[in-house]
Structure 1
């Protein structure tokens, strides 16, 4: 088995591929940039977006290219454009079947954002060239014939996702975890709602998401801050790992609490997010 793909950091910023003047700025503000050939580009601008993608290269290790769904006229054209660049990591919109990504063989983040994609999540993540999953709420709800992924101002749970989007998010997270592949949380579309973004990032971190996508540069700093463990948590994790070595991985007490296997695994994850090498 090869090592799983891990993004360069937790903040992944979408940038319309037909706006090459924004490429460098987007990369400066985030850990990775998602050059978008799909929803962020008007249909008439897609040829220009592909031309800009080829003509304005960035460092490939920090670039993901979102391509249009399989079966659409733009899908094959997007793949041709990607082959003319140094980029090889793609995010495939509206993935609904593993064959849609194995057909081209590129390392792929499968975007789960349709009812059929949600129902086939476990099959999709098992594809050999699937390196991660991301989910999307708005296309999902549109595919159900719905009108809103979140509770509105006149409802008690204002701003929270409705049950079906929550279910798809949870299913995607479980599938990615089961196959040890990256899990990327959905964008927070309300740019002005910083508190809502921070709360969702906090929840994503608690559930072990690998990264969170965003649509505005101002959101990237909040995502980075949310994924970075506090110094106190890092120190706790360091002490846990030291205790694990001392007790040969067995149960031990630390600050009046019992530390066992699950807490040792959590400590290892905290140190990994902080950029420290955990003690084995």
Structure 2
């Protein structure tokens, strides 16, 4: 996992707000989604498109993973957004409401036709019932698909559900998207938490997402970055335990290995290596 990239905190920033784009250069998040969709009024979309594409080519955002969210398929802005974003060459292009494997293939073909460089991946937002039900096919549709971004607000709306602590109404959908993402080997990034003043609720949802297996969380406010970074990073104890497991496994003299009274198998070693890879990638990002 030497190419592991942390995605603990992926922050939406409005593409029409010049001050926000400037501030984003200093926020210690792992990734940015420069938004052309929900946060931008219709009349402002062309200017916002120019601004985020200029940001993507500026080289001024350091080690942050820089992505652009375009308007969804079928809107009057989508084609121009996708073409401009492809030519700007961010780390990824985020597309809302992707609903089928065919749409993924069409999006990838359009990106390549527009000249998207090889490093520019597609991130698909999974936020409708049909996308959840077809999640595995979507996840496997193209090697250029690098991540699922869960759109929990739209998913709750489409299900006629309610936002409640613990997210019980959408847990089956979240698990389904995670299963599909892991089967396809792509990242899966949790949805946003809407109440920026409810720190306890936000941190509880971060812990839940980490325990479920998400790579990180999308965020709507810079004040949420620190909590997400901590929640989705291995703890000091987890890193110490992982090192002990790897060391014991590599120095074993028989087929049976125990660490602190716990029998260790190859699957535990794999998990330990992943923990250490995440830890090392986070440390490298801090020093970069």
TM-score by length of structure 1 reads 0.86
Q: Deviations over 1:194-250 (max 9, x none)?
A: 112222222222333222110100101111111222222211110101111123894
Higher relative contact order by CA 8 Å / sep ≥ 6: 1 or 2? 2
- Partner residue, 1:270: 275
- In the alignment, is residue 12 of structure 1 matched against residue 10 of structure 2? yes
Number of aligned residue pairs: give it: 265
- Partner residue, 2:191: 186
Query: The residue matched to 1:201 in structure 2 has which SS?
Result: helix
Q: Measure how far apart 1:5 and its partner are.
A: 7.6
- In the alignment, is residue 67 of structure 1 matched against residue 73 of structure 2? no
Q: Measure how far apart 1:8 and its partner are.
A: 4.5
Task: Work out whether residues 251 and 261 of structure 1, in 8 Å CA contact, stay in contact via their aligned partners in 2.
Answer: no
Q: 1:108 aligns with which of 106, 114, 122?
A: 122
In structure 1, runs of 5+ residues without a counterpart are 152-158
Shift of the 64–4 alpha-carbon distance from structure 1 to 2, 3 Å rule, reads farther
Shift of the 17–258 alpha-carbon distance from structure 1 to 2, 3 Å rule, reads same
Q: Distance in 1 between matches of 2:244 and 2:43?
A: 57
RMSD over aligned CA atoms reads 2.3
TM-score by length of structure 2 reads 0.84
Q: Distance in 1 between matches of 2:34 and 2:70?
A: 9
More helix by share: 2
Matches within 5 A, 1:20-169: 20-29=18-27, 30-57=29-56, 58-59=58-59, 62-87=65-90, 89-105=92-108, 106=111, 107-128=121-142, 129-144=144-159, 146=160, 148=162, 150-151=163-164, 159-163=165-169, 165-169=170-174
Q: Distance in 2 between matches of 1:181 and 1:172?
A: 11
Task: Work out whether residues 250 and 261 of structure 1, in 8 Å CA contact, stay in contact via their aligned partners in 2.
Answer: no
Task: Work out whether residues 20 and 56 of structure 1, in 8 Å CA contact, stay in contact via their aligned partners in 2.
Answer: no
In structure 2, runs of 5+ residues without a counterpart are 112-120, 283-288
Q: Distance in 2 between matches of 1:230 and 1:140?
A: 31
Q: Distance in 1 between matches of 2:76 and 2:265?
A: 53
